[in-house]
Amino acid sequence: MKISLFLLLLTLSASPFTSGAQKSAQQNALFPYPQQVSWGKETFTFNNETQLIYTNNDAKKVAHYFSDFIQPATGYLPSLLTTEEARLQYKLANSANKIAFLLLEKSSEEAVEGSYHLTIDANKVTASASSEVGLFYAAQTLRQLFSSDIESRMPINKAQWLLPSVDIIDAPRFKHRGMHLDVSRHFFDVTFVKRYIDWLAFHKINYFQWHLTDDQGWRIEIKQFPKLTSVGGHRAQTVVGHTYDYQSVFDNKSHGGFYTQAQIKEVLAYAKELHVEVIPEVGVPGHSTAFLAAYPEYSCHKNLVKVEQRFGIFEEVLCPTEDTFTMLAKVYQEVATLFPSKYIHIGGDEVIKKQWLESDFVQQLMKEQGLTNGEEVQSYFIKRVSQIITGLDKTLIGWDEIIEGGIAKDAVIMSWRGIEGGIASSEAGHDVIMSPYQYTYLDAYQSRSVDEPKAIHGYLPLKMVYGYDPVPADLSPQHQQHILGAQGALWTEYIESPRHAEYMLLPRLSALAEVFWTQPTNKNWSRYSANVDHIITRYQKMGLNPSTSAFTASTKIDVVKSGELTVNLTADIAGKNIFYTIDGSEPAPYSKATYLYKNAITVTQPVLIRVAVESAQGRTLFSEVNVALAPHKALGKKISFAAPPKTGEERLLDGIMAYQQYYNVDDFAVFYDEDLDAIIDFEQATEFSQVQLGIDTGKHRQLQPPVSVEVLVSNDGINWQSLLRLTPTQIKGPLLTLDFEQVKMQFLRVIAINAKNSTDPQIPKLPLYIDEIAVY
């Protein structure tokens, strides 16, 4: 007789296992962490005699999956019992040394797909669930309960493998647990995409959003429009460095690739076996340069364009003509036929409306449809595409820009620009997938370390990912029901290789998985962070390239007074020794110049502090972060502006130079429309003979310099004397040093002219960044 999983869980709630039992750190290293875990004191011995049993054909799939997984490391080929044999075994008194995969009758009380129960004692392992996917997730948890050696694809010389006794009752918090991959900016082959899906399944992530089209390449074969891939699938070259660098450099190498429909079917079949639903993203109406390079007749201007070689947001946009919608109906028909998912993602983000508003056709369309602005034209376009998607019996997903001008009926909103779009959409009755870039975009930098590889921008350390909650605190329970779940993203503008992708994903993907799966009451940063070592080790045993950035120390700098700073060093991962040098040398074990950090450091002279953290094994230092400090005379003094910066005013006199770290906009005062014209009041006549101006970053970015810099002084703040002026040929970053004869003055004025005011057409109109005005 079958019993329901719901009744089984009730029965097991009075388990003899106790959460207070002693357990190793390895036992705690489960990710995402289950909802209920009770550790026992015994161990189960997995050896060459262990049998795998299952209840029916669906359970047999999971048993075979598990058997295939453990064979390379263990060398064992365990026997698998048929359904009838399994039933017979469970009627026998001796059922020891068995791992059972039991598919149970589903109870009407169960609501969450993926629930499972896993119990291990000295005699047996029992995984039970009311669905195949639940049983599959139980197998993933069981996999993590083995030592990380089990991940080896080569034989490990062990006669037996020990599993801790445990009782786990588990279910996912959200039904949508998603991860995205951009293959347009850099193309990744089928082999990598399958491995990516492997990683998602291992983390109990059930949706894979495949970003297949963008300005830099069209990656999906559409048989009715072959030029989408033959022309749109290739670009002549790619920008080297950051796309917004002051002076762009290109690699002069063609880049391209696309997936045939046969290859896509292969990936879809693979994902299905791992219980991952693949959502195609074919974006319109913006990010369409590759589309229009192939078929320029669907633009409003009809001009020839090239597949974009830079990254960013571009003006090319599909024109809202009937011909365009007819073509899109054919494109999405092929997409819908290929992909069994109920969803099609149509993008809809970052649409520049300039070409629409300059088009006579669009102006006439606006009159006919009663549209008053570009946002309403966008809404019209999205609603027409929504009709196409709905007609294909699919549900449209779009980035949160599609709510501007009016939301298409039944659209699901993916809120990426923050949480506001998700809140507004859920309150309007739309289902929402939360994907705010501040917490879920894994292409951002992971630490302030100088060792970080090039990334797009922003700062998203492991702890910040882990701390995210997809349900906004001020959303009513009624509207919370519209939060389907959350999703992470990996955009690949600056990620060119699988190893780099692994580095950006891991271990942050484990933190994100816990955001998706684990109830907030069961999340615990202390527990999770204490096991990051184990998590990273498991990834390494899987042959992957995880980042150790989580161990990087953070610095907090306080201005004490003019000419003095204090430095406090901390690490998100507790229990690690922090070492530093102040002479510019590399921190190294046993070096006389390397100090163990114990208390705050006082700095009274310009200095480069280099900080590193001890590895789990000790002796090895890694994840170095550098901070160039300038304890100068203007610290703590009043500063005023002819026109203040848009952001970062406090950065001009904080004593920290940005050029020793990767680019972060928060390190700079940013002047978008104005020049720097700042006056520092020393409150009394003060002697100084040097001004230093930080104008650039030291790694991965080349910021636009000013076209001239001038230093002036005054004793009354009215009459000014010019001391020194630098011309463009004298301005080279990242740090400008202006020396002059010593003066004694109360007021110092620094003027840096923004290049946007230059008459030189070769100078791009980019913001002016200044990170410090240091006075000595």
Cis, bond preceding 507 (omega within 30 deg of 0): yes
Q: Which two tokens stand for residue 651?
A: 């950065």
| Angstrom distance (rounded) from CA 389 to CA 675 | 49
Q: In sequence order, which ranges of 13-131 are alpha helices (DSSP H)?
A: 25-28, 57-74, 83-89
581 neighbors 595 (Cβ within 8 angstroms): yes
SS3 629: strand
DSSP string across 271-287: HHHTT-EEEEEEEESSS
Among candidate residues 85, 350, 427, 564, the one labeled active-site is 350
Catalytic status, residue 687 = no
| Angstrom distance (rounded) from CA 520 to CA 317 | 42
| Non-local CB neighbours of 266 within 8 Å, separated by 6+ positions | 190
- φ/ψ (deg, to 5) at 533: -55, -50
| Non-local CB neighbours of 94 within 8 Å, separated by 6+ positions | none
Closest to 769 (Cα-Cα) out of 657, 616, 620: 657
User: What sign for the dihedral angle of Cα 763, 767, 772, 776?
Assistant: positive
Q: In sequence order, which ranges of 207-319 are alpha helices (DSSP H)?
A: 227-230, 261-273, 289-294
| Angstrom distance (rounded) from CA 603 to CA 277 | 55
Kind of pairing, strands 124-129 and 116-120? antiparallel
Q: Which two tokens stand for residue 121?
A: 């004692």
Strands (E), 332-429: 343-347, 395-399, 412-415
Q: Which two tokens stand for residue 64?
A: 């075979």
Opening angle at CA 121, ends 118 and 124, nearest 5: 80
Q: Which residues are catalytic?
A: 350
